[in-house]
Structure 1
């Protein structure tokens, strides 16, 4: 017996994805205020932001094991509760070292919630027998957009401490309400993954496949590495945009804090729109062409956003970046899975998170050395690489 297409479990999980995006956006739009609060240079702030990524990356493998032992649904609830508490803490940090420490905890909650809720999403996809995974990630994007809009509008009238506290209360309310629904809903039985490359062929064909297994494995590893590098380049850009957009708009383009939050919101809306239309575009254009056009669009948009002296032009650039980057990461991970199975997904995802890890800190050091606008142009370089790498992958896979 399967759930209805929009049964309670799916609605609850979509709410969890959305509030996860909301809480992260609530933190992002307050980065300029917190930077001033702790009197951090660009490089010092970059190191503090690195702690958030470190907390997430260190937590993810442990949360994966907890999901296997206790189930993904209770771990999702616990991780989101931790994130809802941790989002309050940056407002009370008064030194860079303290900020780094609280961001480790924030990263642990954020990374744990993302691993656990995606595990639940995989269960629901199998239970519903529908390809509904994009709807969950669209929920995350629109939650981030809502968080950016609400928290940005309140930036001029509400202190950082109150804004993050109210965001945490919302997060805890969704944790309790949606978590209760999720825990009460029956979980699907785990589905054993199919072995990649196995078909019902004759014994002679199987023998020939075995003889070719060595070169095939080498080719698969190369494909997964190329796709992983695509994910890394994309995540580098996403991490840099998330952590440095509002600072660039306030410090370099002289936008107000409200307008700067609007700029990040425009990027987030473009990202969400691109993801909603990603399946249709993949069918119409082919995955390789979509990734090529997306990466080149992001590169052009980043150059405009980084170098334009006027606020409206810079925001238009960030919109192009959001549209361009929207489908690069999901498509690279999906194609890595098609080429290398679950191990391909794991390897490409690890490289992708590596890009998210190094992006903010690299931008911070380059900003101190050459200025934030020039540092942000490295995102355009990374996006160009993300556009070109799939061309090689497409030729080897024989797909568009």
Structure 2
């Protein structure tokens, strides 16, 4: 049993790394695809909304499928969809085919995202300790590998179609090799058959987790889109120095996720969210208000370290809230969180017309403070609380 669990954990690492690599290799080739299709930045921005829309639909669709058929089937199928779709933007010849390609890629990515997180919850349940953050760190490492590979293939003069095609082939082969090690579906808990009310009451807590995921992943999106611009536009940093802002954030995020599982095992998920989100708020406040570039870089580093373990704990809590609906619950949390990543540019951008960027960054600071204050949502529910939730669920159904 232990050997099969270790093999399943290794396979889950593979799927997270593959997903990070596939999305990363697309991101690296965005400028080349943009030139090939002959569109500008504004048009590309609208088309990227299709990527998000496809991802949201895929997440909501695959969650119940993972509960019904098991992650052992849904994870490799979703990974194959994502791998096959990543080549499509590279062969798109016009705006219409690129739009369809991005919709398909987003759909495949959304499916794989929820499916592999649902399986990660199953693996974590087998280990009976926190292992979720390390999977998310592997996703980040896959993106780093994609950046290195993409830079090399572009220096060799490879076309987007060739590079993305090779990435798709790697994804398909990797998914096929890792699939046999995935865990078989768990048998439904006997209480699930006789207690449908408990399932109806579950979403109340799940939506709280999803709301926190929305806030915290919006903060991650802010770092992705605005960290380098903050140093360049507010502190007049050279372009190369400004790029370090996202670099230190991403590095701290990855390193923090590699360590977060041990911290969560020792101190619990509530402490990870409370002190992690609090640390993130402190770091971003430091970056936003700093008049010096080095101190701002320290702030972005602290921001990444603080955020690193928070979202994986939310996914884990959603998956463990109801063992028979783990996929659907992870889909709710991941889906709303994904909207947060997309909403970051949409919210921050217009506000910069009303106030300087460093002042606007106080908004995600507030979001981190809210998340820290709501950390008790990760505390395991007692029997009395569960009964209260069930009563609320019956009342909601009657009303």
Q: TM-score, normalised by structure 2?
A: 0.72
* Match runs of 1:6-85 below 5 Å: 7=7, 10-26=9-25, 39-40=40-41, 47-64=46-63, 71-85=73-87
Aligned-partner SS, 2:186: coil
Q: What displacement does 1:18 show?
A: 1.5
Q: What displacement does 1:145 show?
A: 3.5
Q: Deviations over 1:188-229 (max 9, x none)?
A: 43102436799xxxxxxxxxxx9xx99x99986654443332
Partner residue of 1:328? 310
Match of 1:362 among 347, 351, 368: 347
**CA distance in structure 1 between the partners assigned to 2:32 and 2:220 by the alignment:** 21
Whether 1:312 and 2:291 are equivalent positions in the alignment is no
Aligned-partner SS, 2:87: helix
Partner residue of 1:203? none
Q: Is the 8 A contact 2:317 2:378 kept in 1?
A: no
Whether 1:288 and 2:266 are equivalent positions in the alignment is no
**CA distance in structure 1 between the partners assigned to 2:217 and 2:49 by the alignment:** 14
Q: Deviations over 1:259-297 (max 9, x none)?
A: 555432322221122222222222443332321211121
Return 5+ residue gaps in structure 1 as ranges.
199-209
Cα gap change, 1:281 to 1:374, in 2 (>3 Å):
same
Cα gap change, 1:219 to 1:122, in 2 (>3 Å):
closer
Q: Is the 8 A contact 1:47 1:361 kept in 2?
A: no
Q: Is the 8 A contact 1:230 1:390 kept in 2?
A: no
* Match runs of 1:74-223 below 5 Å: 74-86=76-88, 88=90, 103-121=102-120, 133-148=132-147, 158=155, 168-169=164-165, 171-183=167-179, 185=180, 188-194=183-189, 222-223=204-205
RMSD: 4.6
Q: What displacement does 1:328 show?
A: 1.5
More off after superposition, 348-357 vs 254-263: 254-263
Q: Is the 8 A contact 1:226 1:390 kept in 2?
A: no
Cα gap change, 1:71 to 1:4, in 2 (>3 Å):
closer
Q: Is the 8 A contact 2:55 2:111 kept in 1?
A: yes
More off after superposition, 71-80 vs 306-315: 306-315
Aligned-partner SS, 1:15: helix
Partner residue of 2:367? 382
**CA distance in structure 2 between the partners assigned to 1:38 and 1:337 by the alignment:** 41
Aligned-partner SS, 2:361: helix
Q: Is the 8 A contact 1:25 1:147 kept in 2?
A: yes
Cα gap change, 1:132 to 1:327, in 2 (>3 Å):
closer
**CA distance in structure 1 between the partners assigned to 2:377 and 2:5 by the alignment:** 38
Cα gap change, 1:186 to 1:24, in 2 (>3 Å):
closer
Cα gap change, 1:306 to 1:389, in 2 (>3 Å):
same
Cα gap change, 1:390 to 1:128, in 2 (>3 Å):
closer
* Match runs of 1:347-358 below 5 Å: 347-358=332-343
